[in-house]
Structure 1
Amino acid sequence: MLELSFEKEVVKTLTTGSNQWVERKDLYGATPEQLWANFRDKLNNNNYAKLQGHPLTDTEFNQVKRAIEVRTPYQAAKLLAAENGIGKVEVERDDAKLGTVTLELFWKADVAGGKSSYEVVRQAVRPKLAGSQDVEPDRRFDITLLINGLPLIQLELKKATVELNQAFNQIEKYAQEGKYTGIYSLLQMFVIMTPDSTAYFANAEPDHFNKAFLFNWRTRDNNSVENGLAFTRQVLNIPMAHKMVSEYTVIDQERQSLILLRPYQIYAIEAVMRRIHDHQDGFVWHTTGSGKTLTSYKTAKLAAQDPGVDKVIFLVDRRDLDEQTTSNFSAYAANDDIAINEAQNTGDLMRKLQQNDGKVLVTSIQKLHRAVKKTQAQLLTGKQSRFSKTLKQRVIFFVDEAHRSQFGKMQKKFAQRLSIVTGTVTPVLPSLTKTKNSSRVI
């Protein structure tokens, strides 16, 4: 199949059936100026009430443009996540009577309906930058996916006889040429595909593209999805494409980078959330080095945000892992809409369990065991413990390295005492584990 024919098939797949993508044929070959104008219309419409019926002036929109033209994908991801998962930008109105207004750009949770719009643009043109030494006068991007007018996903296509690596190298070259700046500054995800081969990866700084973080898609049954159109149907549909650049991304403060989750991590998260909603426990089995910490963090975050959950406790099975896990979680949560808390000792744990702050609490199974033991002793002497009230709430326990802690003596004692305090052994206990088996949920 020729590249042009393949491009048309991909767009057809995106825009037919239950998909909400709309091809903007009027923006075929769009320049950055045309994309800015389209985004400006979306921004004015989505913030009509905030703007009090007064669309942005050129001067005001230039403030928006400067805010969006961030230097790195890490900064872009921070802007899109912003406060409570809503990307925002502050604009000072020309008319002093209108004051300063905070405009909303992107809603992480607004999927498949609501305010978000989904548009497909073919062959967008990126002109040669002033002072650039590019041989070509401009570049063309095969398919650009706009969410609320913002280019967030880029597709680079090749015909069947061309190796997929060439598409990766082309994107890397464009990044080094500064093509992903301006209106393209907020790009989150790249997809490279031929009719028979497909991969995706997160945007990165020009010198930090790494093929080790180029992922192939797989089904829930762990079957590889190589076909480009099959990938388009499974991953680039709405709401999945929106989730890929919102819920299934992680902003790593320590490495100043954007991370996209692998398929098995996404399936694990979805399976755990289903178990939580069904009030069931379960196990997630990850192979060594497969990103267990990322899966743990993202699942704990989503669980903590669930209105049916009062508290999330992440248990590690050794005292020395308290600080390490909290450090890792905090690096991911620094720019996310959640906070991570650590219990320094048993007394501190019992105090923090009383706090209704929505935080994910990281502690060791030993500290929790001592807290439950102390509560049991109080109950046996007729004293009422505030801790026992906490354990009767809707608490989710994530047990790290469950293949060691879940069946050890400590866990058995903990379960026995917990049943005395709460009257139940399993207040919902998904366990994130690391074993030699394939990644799956039971």
Structure 2
Amino acid sequence: MIPDISAEKQLQNNTINLLKSMGYKFISQVDNVNLRNGKLGEVVLKDILVKQLQELNNFEYKNNTYPFSSKNIANAIASLDESLNEGLMTANGRVSDQLILGNSYQEELIDGATKSFSFKYIDFMNPENNVFHFTEEFTVSRTIQNETEKTRRPDIVLFINGIPFGVIELKKSSVDTEQGISQMIRNQLKGEIGQLFKYVQITLAGNNHSPKYATTGTPKKFYATWEEDTNKQLEKLVINRTASKLDSTIYSLFNKNRVIQLLHSFIIFDNKIKKIARYQQFFAIKEIVRKIEKLDNTGKRGGGLIWHTQGSGKSLTMVMLTRVIKREILNSKIIVVTDRKDLDRQIHSTFKNSEIEAQRAKNGRHLVSLLQSGKSVITTLIHKFETVAKEKVVLNDPNIFILVDESHRTQGGNLNRAMKKVFPSSCYLGFTGTPLMKKEKSTISKFGGLLHKYTIDQAVKDGAVLPLLYEGRLVEQWVSDERGLQRRFDIISRDLSEEQKRDLARKWVKFQRLASSEQRLEIIMLDIDSHFVKNIKNTGFKAMLATSSKFEAIKYHKLFEELGNVKSAFVISAPDSREGHENIDDDNKTFINEEWRKIIKKYGDEDRYLEKIKDEFIEGDELELLIVVDKLLTGFDAPRATVLYIDKELKEHNLLQAIARVNRLYDGKDFGFIIDYRGLLGNLDSALTSYSSLDGFEEEDLVGAVVDIKNEIAKLKTFYSHLEELFKNVENKNDQESYEVFLADEEKRKEFYEYLSNYGRALKLSLSSDKINEIFSEEEISAFRTKMKFYSNLRVSIKIRYHETVDFGKYEKQMQKLLDTFISADDVNQLTKLVNIFDEDFDSEIERIVGDNARADAILSASTATINEKMESNPAYYEKLAARIQEILEEYKDSRLSEEEKLKHAKDIRSLLMSKNTTEKNNYPESIRNNKCAIAFYDNLGEFISGLIKEDDVLEEIVIKVNNIFNEVSKKPDWTNNSDVTNQIEGQIEDILWDLEDEYKIQFENTDEIIGRIRNLGINNYS
């Protein structure tokens, strides 16, 4: 299919016009090469940078102003050119530090002394002093080159003072934004164009309607949308067309004042991972700064409350805010207050990972010492202020900023009064990840009003967090009578083999003899085990179980351990601390104490125990299920956790915080799942505030908090119909060959892969839930399974037939889990690695295919892949083969070839490729027969010369001369990136052509085309 180049070009032209109207100076593609002296391995526009560094930098000495020396200007540019030897992100971090902080250089002064002076690359204080440029089609040499790919060419690159800081990849509306993101990420890989991305701070990829931005090193799942009303500004800039979402995003991110702010304060490294502020973080901090920048009549600064839903980066908002406050307000101090030890440890770690030196108060007296010593950033627990208050420490300073995490829990009682007593004039900023309850709305006024909010619903819409699907499973209905137990057994064993059913039945008999209290734990354990093994195990995802007491946490772990299917661990606090339902634990103290002694013996102390389990759950592969009571139900980020099983009474903030443990983004994860064995939200068929567990909130604040899983199951029929609609014109629905022929069109195959991925994921989700039986009949469910099996086999067949390296990407493990668990795996063909035409297994793979037509398609598709791979090394030869393949397909389509003839021609094409590969061709002159580079020159020069010169030996002589040129120049280091060498090559080729014209009295009408073709051939074959 011919790409719609005009659509992408128009989009690029629109972007160029917008950036021009925003005050950026345009540099053409030709000029961007010239400004780099033809050296495509270089990316900084040095002439512009030198001029700007001279204008931005000078120093004062003895009341006179002097410019920096040319030597130090050169040193500054060289210092910015960090090596990639330690990896892209290390280089990018060092470049970023220099861009923001500048450098210092020693100058020799007029009196003979030497002194160091500050030196800057960007003027952050006076944005108008910087110059902004941009260019299109910015060709950059790859650091590791192969036969066919020497360079990459980002669509748009933006520069500040000649330094590249932004890259934009554009896609037409019919192309998904993810394709542009993938391209952006590919260009940052080792061997690609890291020399560009070591400078880059902002990346933007997408089409007109769904662009996403990030920074260097950002994984695909964290590319984000920017939401802002820019209509008024764009009306003045976008003329004769309607402004698009892309226009709005470009303006929001790249207008000059905004860029300066983003570069200076809103891009950070968190544990060596580079992150850029999301829009809610940016606007929250801007609003806070507006509120705190001036003192009121009492000498205090205004404060306020920030509600940003869990999982949207609240901790990093605090880090960025701290950086801004420290830069904006001299002698400022920031104190971050939490009410739990693990949260204090976590927030301190976040500051440390972001390279902000924060002191953590060990106890009350240490907090006193830190406050009196003048440390600028402190993290502490609120209860330590009691000690400070008793010491009668009072810090009456409006430049102290108190950042209170989960502020709804700390703004009442003696602890809050103690804090206010110590800091009577300080600025209080409250942060919460959950909405305030109606009775807590007064908290807003205590802090100074609601400054900014980012709701659950908005975060889900933005893709900042995942939607949560809720399923209630009432245990009491199962254990009430024998029929209830049997029904549960039937459901749990539904997709098990006969042997597995017999094994479960033996456990079930034992279970039925237990007391009802133990029955409850056992049946929940078996249900979780079944659900996890069928749906989660071996997918890379994990689960959590929230239970009511330490005793039950340990008991559950032992039950899972005994069954042996799921690897679990439990996290509890020390026996002498209060956690969960104390009355249950009081009756089982001996049992709990004994288990705790084992823990301390194994791990040494409580902190090491907690950290070890957390690290294994987050990073490791062995631990699959984490059982918790209270610890880790708040402030614990484990992106691989995808299911929360609840066997615990939770309500209000505790419920919202607990369920948010599974809303984090992770590759291949579409939802978080809540499976509730307590009936906290009933059947979820009413407003959330109608349930006692959430009735203290405003309904509008809970929109999007959880969704009934039945809503998603109902979508299965839609995804099923998409596939049926795609194949509606296939005449023989019982013949797989008809489907395969129908999918000869690449665009239809892309549709098929997308629809099948959507359908498979929806089917897996639906079959994981009991609720499927409430929506679909057994006949419908059976039909869904049968179709999945058929389409999965079809997918495998067309992958081989059309030689496509296709899988479900990040969803592949889930699709395999679906086939293994819910579809008869014996009846489903497995995807295998593609073999190329040179592979010794190729013939046997072809023989496995049924039908001559299908075999011919497989050979021709594999041959086409080889041709595309080698095209640049010899266009004349491979274009002829590509054209011949197209002829064969057309002749068969027009019934001028039988299936048998088509297969014979396909085998002939492969034979030609095979012989070309070994260069055993008797129709080439003997002098070049074994030289693939010379053969490429022969084939391509022959196209231009054969009609003008009849003597065969003339072509051979020319080829030898051209081959000698490249044989010599290729000995020079980095010759392909050297414009002088390129000019030398072109000049020598031109001399050869002139000599031919003189000797044979001929005239080449396309000299430039010939020179360009030969130059590119030489580069592709000799580098």
Name the count of aligned residue pairs: 401
- In the alignment, which of 244, 252, 274 is matched to residue 258 of structure 1? 274
CA distance in 2, matches of 1:65, 1:249: 18
Which runs of no fewer than 5 residues in structure 1 stay unpaired?
376-386
1:266–1:126 distance in 2 versus 1, CA, 3 Å: same
Deviation at 1:406, TM superposition (A): 1.8
Q: Secondary structure at the match of 2:172?
A: coil
Alignment of 1:162-173 (within 5 A): 162-173=175-186
Deviation at 1:431, TM superposition (A): 0.7
- 2:305 and 2:431 in contact (8 A); partners too: yes
Alignment of 1:390-405 (within 5 A): 390-405=395-410
CA distance in 2, matches of 1:301, 1:162: 39
**Structure ranking higher in strand proportion:** 1
- 2:268 and 2:274 in contact (8 A); partners too: yes
Deviation at 1:202, TM superposition (A): 1.6
1:108–1:287 distance in 2 versus 1, CA, 3 Å: farther
Alignment of 1:6-405 (within 5 A): 6-16=11-21, 19-25=22-28, 27-28=31-32, 31-33=40-42, 35-38=44-47, 39-47=49-57, 52=67, 54-56=69-71, 60=75, 63-64=78-79, 66-67=81-82, 71-82=87-98, 85-88=100-103, 104-107=119-122, 109-110=124-125, 112-114=127-129, 116-129=130-143, 132-133=145-146, 135-176=148-189, 178-204=191-217, 210-219=219-228, 227-252=245-270, 254=271, 256-278=272-294, 279-307=301-329, 310-332=332-354, 334=355, 338-357=356-375, 359-375=376-392, 387-388=393-394, 390-405=395-410
- 1:313 and 1:363 in contact (8 A); partners too: yes
Which runs of no fewer than 5 residues in structure 2 stay unpaired?
1-5, 35-39, 61-65, 231-242, 295-300, 437-449, 454-1023
1:188–1:157 distance in 2 versus 1, CA, 3 Å: same
Q: Counterpart of 1:379?
A: none
CA distance in 1, matches of 2:89, 2:258: 21
**Structure ranking higher in helix proportion:** 2
1:91–1:52 distance in 2 versus 1, CA, 3 Å: same
Q: Counterpart of 1:414?
A: 418
CA distance in 1, matches of 2:252, 2:73: 40
1:34–1:372 distance in 2 versus 1, CA, 3 Å: closer
1:228–1:339 distance in 2 versus 1, CA, 3 Å: same
CA distance in 2, matches of 1:319, 1:290: 22
Q: Secondary structure at the match of 2:173?
A: coil
Deviation at 1:111, TM superposition (A): 5.6
1:124–1:111 distance in 2 versus 1, CA, 3 Å: farther
- 2:25 and 2:133 in contact (8 A); partners too: yes
CA distance in 2, matches of 1:92, 1:135: 48
- 1:21 and 1:118 in contact (8 A); partners too: yes
Deviation at 1:215, TM superposition (A): 0.4
Q: What amino acid is aligned across from residue 127 of structure 1 in structure 2? A: S
CA distance in 1, matches of 2:418, 2:290: 26
Larger Rg: 2
CA distance in 2, matches of 1:6, 1:317: 51
1:429–1:60 distance in 2 versus 1, CA, 3 Å: closer
Q: Secondary structure at the match of 1:233?
A: helix
Deviation at 1:229, TM superposition (A): 0.8
1:72–1:372 distance in 2 versus 1, CA, 3 Å: same
- What is the CA RMSD across the aligned residues, in angstroms? 3.5
Q: What amino acid is aligned across from residue 352 of structure 2 in structure 1? A: S
Per the normalisation by structure 2, the TM-score is 0.36
- 2:266 and 2:282 in contact (8 A); partners too: yes
- 2:267 and 2:274 in contact (8 A); partners too: yes
Q: Counterpart of 2:426?
A: 427
1:6–1:99 distance in 2 versus 1, CA, 3 Å: farther
1:216–1:48 distance in 2 versus 1, CA, 3 Å: same
Deviation at 1:235, TM superposition (A): 1.9
User: Deviations along 1:30-54, whole A, 9 cap, x unmatched?
Assistant: 6454734333443444446599554
- 2:165 and 2:199 in contact (8 A); partners too: yes
Deviation at 1:173, TM superposition (A): 2.4
Q: Secondary structure at the match of 2:166?
A: strand
- 1:286 and 1:440 in contact (8 A); partners too: no
Q: Secondary structure at the match of 1:244?
A: helix
Greater mean alpha carbon deviation, residues 277-286 or residues 181-190: 181-190
CA distance in 1, matches of 2:248, 2:222: 21
Deviation at 1:213, TM superposition (A): 0.9
CA distance in 2, matches of 1:134, 1:111: 47
User: Deviations along 1:361-387, whole A, 9 cap, x unmatched?
Assistant: 111111123212331xxxxxxxxxxx3
User: Deviations along 1:383-434, whole A, 9 cap, x unmatched?
Assistant: xxxx32x234432111111021123x2444336x61xx67x5x632111121
Deviation at 1:103, TM superposition (A): 7.3
Q: What amino acid is aligned across from residue 391 of structure 1 in structure 2? A: N
Q: What amino acid is aligned across from residue 284 of structure 1 in structure 2? A: I
- 2:284 and 2:306 in contact (8 A); partners too: yes
CA distance in 2, matches of 1:307, 1:61: 29
1:60–1:349 distance in 2 versus 1, CA, 3 Å: closer
CA distance in 2, matches of 1:339, 1:373: 28
CA distance in 2, matches of 1:410, 1:220: 44
Per the normalisation by structure 1, the TM-score is 0.79
Deviation at 1:138, TM superposition (A): 2.5
Q: Comparing both chains, which one has the higher relative contact order based on Cα–Cα distances under 8 Å and sequence gaps of 6 or more?
A: 1
Deviation at 1:227, TM superposition (A): 1.1
Q: What amino acid is aligned across from residue 299 of structure 1 in structure 2? A: L
CA distance in 2, matches of 1:285, 1:128: 45
CA distance in 1, matches of 2:67, 2:113: 8
1:34–1:356 distance in 2 versus 1, CA, 3 Å: closer
Q: What amino acid is aligned across from residue 311 of structure 1 in structure 2? A: K
Q: Secondary structure at the match of 2:211?
A: strand
Q: Secondary structure at the match of 1:217?
A: coil
Q: What amino acid is aligned across from residue 383 of structure 2 in structure 1? A: Q
User: Deviations along 1:173-202, whole A, 9 cap, x unmatched?
Assistant: 222363333354221221013222210112
Q: Secondary structure at the match of 2:175?
A: coil
Q: Counterpart of 1:441?
A: 452
Deviation at 1:330, TM superposition (A): 1.1
Q: What amino acid is aligned across from residue 260 of structure 2 in structure 1? A: H
Deviation at 1:264, TM superposition (A): 0.9
Q: What amino acid is aligned across from residue 430 of structure 1 in structure 2? A: L
Q: Counterpart of 2:566?
A: none
Q: Secondary structure at the match of 2:188?
A: helix
- 1:400 and 1:433 in contact (8 A); partners too: yes
1:42–1:228 distance in 2 versus 1, CA, 3 Å: same
